[in-house]
């Protein structure tokens, strides 16, 4: 008789059989991604995509956003293939679903169908799949955040070595998107409340700090400022520009000339209703339009340290002078995440970049639109940089019938905002009923999801792509809440019924013992 251990193929088949529900869902998600790549190759493009490619070709610290994703493009540059870039991003999306399933199934003992259901939005949401097809950093950021949360929740006792790994992942998260800093603060606070110990917490902070400080030193060598970007103040300025009223801000026209120059002359009730215009708009061309305020410094000087500091002071003054107006725009943008449909926001052009279109956009000459010919920041040009990276035409090629399949799929299969709101409410319930334990394991993913939705509304502006990285965390929090039903923390009727005979026997034994003692 052969007692040899089963081979890798047999073990893999056995695992697929044990997890057949998730395996089937995973397979469908993989097929949808394959159809997307066939229909919209080599990649899809967003306005920010071109700067990432530019940094990958001409390495430098970018003044607007950290370079973490550009480093990834740099690693893949020798293959000269945007198809490979989006393939890795689709694999990241699938890996995120696997982490969710593994955490909920193995650590929290959810049933297989329940853990699969929590991973379903990542696997099947059409806008999630479209985001993975874009040359953008959001999919990488989502995988890193879910990886951090998974590692923190996985073990009851965290070693310093595991803490170091978590710290490195947090550093990559921070270098990919600036919002990684609040994620670090949230993880450290959670570990402190959990009383993890000083060694793992120190390892988390040190392992995160070293790569980030190295990057900030590189940034300082280029711009003379020890920071991650030169854009945080300008982005906050655009957030406040839609309501800022200089007549209420008490600006000294003799001592605060820089703040005065940032005042917008147009009446508040006639301004654009979306904030991005005040950072990226080109104005009216006559020097008087609202979009001209920042362009007065010139395109190459708009993201300088001086402009950024002045914009930060202006935005801070606007918030302190008009707290009610600021709170109003933050609340309004936060609740945009929970609509049933997807209203066209912030503008038609941005909205269309998230759509699977089964046709080419046509230019004025009746030809399919080429990539825009913008000048990249500090050298290069968007279309030539993309061509150089690909070593061929980089424009999205729409191929039928695959493009038609995904275009039709996107009209139906995506997570509605109101459903996301319900998922968040379930997680909030899980935090509340565990208040004696400060929310228990639910609080970390729930606060992460809530923060990822609130931060853009508070510091920049709502955008649909900012919602998607919050969805996996919200699903994890809701799934942990529901693992024993919404009555978590109370004894179920079944367990109470099961213990009832035992309780009677114990009481009868005690009474018999007391009776014998009395008779004796």
Say if residue 250 is in the same domain as residue 209. no
SS3 187: helix
Q: What is the pLDDT of residues 369-409, one digit of tens each?
A: 888 888 877 667 888 999 999 999 999 999 999 999 999 99
Q: What is the pLDDT of residue 370?
A: 87
Token readout for 135 is 């040359």
The answer to whether residue 250 scores a pLDDT higher than 60 is: yes
Is residue 116 a part of any domain in this protein? no
**Where is 448: in which H helix or E strand?**
helix 443-459
Is the peptide bond prior to 367 cis by the omega test (within 30 degrees of 0)?
no
**Pick from 182, 198, 226: which residue ends a domain?**
226
Is residue 336 a part of any domain in this protein? no
C-beta of residue 7 within 8 angstroms of C-beta of residue 99: no
Is residue 184 a part of any domain in this protein? yes
Listed in sequence order, the residues at least 6 apart from 507 whose beta carbon sits closer than 8 Å to its beta carbon are: none
Q: What is the pLDDT of residue 417?
A: 96
Say if residue 218 is in the same domain as residue 268. no
DSSP string spanning 357-381? -SS--B-TTSSB-----PBPTTS-B
C-beta of residue 101 within 8 angstroms of C-beta of residue 170: no
Using CA atoms, how far apart are residues 460 and 258, in angstroms rounded to an integer?
Answer: 21
Using CA atoms, how far apart are residues 288 and 268, in angstroms rounded to an integer?
Answer: 15
**Pick from 285, 302, 327: which residue ends a domain?**
327
Is residue 68 a part of any domain in this protein? no
φ, ψ at 397 (rounded to 5°)? -105, 120
Using CA atoms, how far apart are residues 152 and 507, in angstroms rounded to an integer?
Answer: 44
Say if residue 188 is in the same domain as residue 261. no
Say if residue 244 is in the same domain as residue 197. no
Average pLDDT over residues 366-370: 81
Say if residue 242 is in the same domain as residue 321. yes
**Pick from 204, 226, 248: which residue ends a domain?**
226
Q: What is the pLDDT of residue 403?
A: 97
Q: What is the pLDDT of residues 225-238, one digit of tens each?
A: 999 999 999 999 99
Share of the chain above pLDDT 70, in %: 88
Listed in sequence order, the residues at least 6 apart from 289 whose beta carbon sits closer than 8 Å to its beta carbon are: 266, 281, 283
Average pLDDT over residues 289-302: 64
Using CA atoms, how far apart are residues 293 and 280, in angstroms rounded to an integer?
Answer: 10
Burial of residue 168 (number of CB atoms within 10 Å: 0-12, 13-18, 19+): middle
The answer to whether residue 495 scores a pLDDT higher than 70 is: no
Is residue 44 a part of any domain in this protein? no
Say if residue 201 is in the same domain as residue 254. no
119-133, 285-299, 347-361, 368-382, range with greatest mean pLDDT = 119-133
Using CA atoms, how far apart are residues 39 and 162, in angstroms rounded to an integer?
Answer: 41
Average pLDDT over residues 155-180: 94
Q: What is the pLDDT of residue 454?
A: 97
Question: Sign (positive/negative) of CA torsion 434, 438, 441, 445?
Answer: positive
Say if residue 212 is in the same domain as residue 271. no
SS3 string, 69-110, reads HHHHHHHHHHHCCHHHHHHHHHHHHHHHHHHHHHHHHHHCCC
Residue 375 β-bridge partners: 381
The answer to whether residue 288 scores a pLDDT higher than 50 is: no
Asked which of 120-129, 299-308, 338-347 is least confident by mean pLDDT, the reply is 299-308
| Total number of domains in the chain | 3
Is residue 3 a part of any domain in this protein? no
Say if residue 158 is in the same domain as residue 205. yes
Q: What is the pLDDT of residue 486?
A: 44
Token readout for 406 is 């995904």
Position 139 confidence tier, pLDDT thresholds 50, 70, 90: very high
Using CA atoms, how far apart are residues 448 and 441, in angstroms rounded to an integer?
Answer: 12
Say if residue 176 is in the same domain as residue 208. yes
Q: What is the pLDDT of residue 283?
A: 53
* Residue whose C-alpha is closest to residue 133's, from 361, 407, 401, 419: 407
Position 498 confidence tier, pLDDT thresholds 50, 70, 90: very low
Burial of residue 141 (number of CB atoms within 10 Å: 0-12, 13-18, 19+): buried
Using CA atoms, how far apart are residues 481 and 474, in angstroms rounded to an integer?
Answer: 11
Say if residue 147 is in the same domain as residue 209. yes
Q: What is the pLDDT of residue 2?
A: 52
Asked which of 201-205, 273-277, 294-298, 479-483 is least confident by mean pLDDT, the reply is 294-298
Is residue 424 a part of any domain in this protein? yes
For 26, 27, 127, the CA distances from 124, given in Å and listed in that order, are 9, 11, 9
The answer to whether residue 136 scores a pLDDT higher than 50 is: yes
Token readout for 284 is 């009216």
Burial of residue 430 (number of CB atoms within 10 Å: 0-12, 13-18, 19+): buried
Using CA atoms, how far apart are residues 54 and 3, in angstroms rounded to an integer?
Answer: 58
The answer to whether residue 287 scores a pLDDT higher than 50 is: no
Using CA atoms, how far apart are residues 74 and 63, in angstroms rounded to an integer?
Answer: 18
Mean pLDDT, rounded, of the chain: 88
Say if residue 242 is in the same domain as residue 315. yes
Q: How many CB atoms lie within 10 A of CB 356?
A: 24
Say if residue 284 is in the same domain as residue 221. no
Position 93 confidence tier, pLDDT thresholds 50, 70, 90: very high
Position 148 confidence tier, pLDDT thresholds 50, 70, 90: very high
Q: Count of residues for the chain?
A: 520
DSSP string spanning 218-259? HHHHHHSS-SS-S-HHHHHHHHHHTT--GGGTT--TTT-HHH
Share of the chain above pLDDT 90, in %: 69
The answer to whether residue 25 scores a pLDDT higher than 60 is: yes
Position 415 confidence tier, pLDDT thresholds 50, 70, 90: very high
Q: What is the pLDDT of residue 129?
A: 98
Distance from the Cα of residue 175 to its chain's centroid = 13
Residue 462 lies in domain: 420-482
Is the peptide bond prior to 238 cis by the omega test (within 30 degrees of 0)?
no
The answer to whether residue 453 scores a pLDDT higher than 70 is: yes
């Amino acid at each position: 008789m052969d007692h040899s251990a089963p081979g890798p193929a047999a073990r893999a088949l056995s695992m697929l059989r044990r997890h057949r529900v998730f395996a089937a869902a995973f397979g469908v998600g993989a097929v949808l991604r394959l159809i997307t790549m066939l229909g919209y190759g080599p990649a899809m493009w967003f306005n920010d995509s071109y700067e990432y490619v530019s940094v990958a070709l001409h390495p430098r610290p970018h003044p607007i956003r950290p370079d973490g994703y550009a480093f990834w493009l740099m690693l893949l540059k020798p293959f000269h293939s945007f198809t490979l870039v989006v393939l890795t991003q689709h694999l990241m999306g699938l890996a995120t679903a696997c982490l969710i399933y593994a955490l909920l199934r193995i650590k929290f003992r959810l049933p297989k169908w329940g853990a699969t259901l929590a991973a379903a939005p990542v696997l099947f949401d059409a806008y999630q799949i479209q985001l993975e097809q874009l040359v953008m950093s959001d999919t990488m950021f989502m995988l890193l955040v879910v990886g951090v949360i998974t590692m923190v929740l996985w073990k009851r006792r965290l070693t310093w070595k595991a803490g170091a790994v978590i710290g490195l992942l947090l550093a990559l998260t921070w270098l990919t998107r600036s919002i990684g800093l609040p994620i670090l603060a949230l993880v450290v606070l959670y570990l402190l409340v959990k009383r993890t110990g000083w060694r793992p917490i120190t390892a988390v902070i040190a392992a995160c700090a070293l790569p980030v400080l190295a990057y900030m030193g590189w940034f300082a060598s280029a711009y003379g400022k020890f920071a991650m970007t030169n854009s945080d103040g300008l982005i906050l300025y655009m957030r406040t520009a839609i309501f800022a009223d200089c007549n209420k801000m008490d600006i000294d026209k003799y001592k605060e000339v820089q703040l005065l120059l940032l005042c917008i002359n147009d009446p508040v009730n006639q301004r654009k209703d979306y904030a991005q215009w005040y950072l990226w708009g080109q104005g009216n061309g006559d020097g008087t339009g609202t979009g001209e305020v920042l362009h007065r410094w010139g395109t190459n000087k708009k993201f300088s340290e001086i402009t950024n500091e002045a914009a930060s002071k202006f935005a801070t003054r606007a918030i302190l002078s008009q707290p009610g107006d600021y709170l109003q725009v933050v609340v309004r943008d936060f609740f945009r995440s929970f609509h049933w449909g997807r209203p066209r926001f912030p503008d038609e052009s941005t909205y269309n970049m998230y759509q699977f279109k089964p046709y080419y956009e046509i230019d004025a000459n009746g030809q399919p639109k080429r990539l825009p010919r913008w000048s990249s920041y500090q050298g290069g040009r968007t279309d030539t940089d993309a061509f150089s990276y690909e070593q061929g035409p980089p424009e999205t090629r729409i191929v039928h019938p695959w493009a038609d399949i995904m275009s039709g799929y996107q009209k139906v299969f995506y997570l509605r905002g109101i459903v996301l709101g319900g998922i968040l409410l379930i997680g909030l319930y899980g935090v509340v009923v565990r208040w004696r334990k400060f929310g228990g394991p639910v609080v970390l993913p729930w606060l992460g999801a809530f923060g990822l939705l609130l931060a853009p509304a508070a510091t920049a502006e709502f955008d649909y792509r900012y919602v998607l990285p919050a969805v996996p965390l919200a699903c994890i929090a809701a799934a942990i809440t529901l693992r024993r039903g919404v009555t978590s923390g109370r004894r179920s009727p079944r367990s109470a019924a099961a213990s009832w005979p035992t309780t009677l026997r114990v009481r009868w034994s005690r009474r018999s013992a007391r009776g014998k003692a009395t008779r004796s």
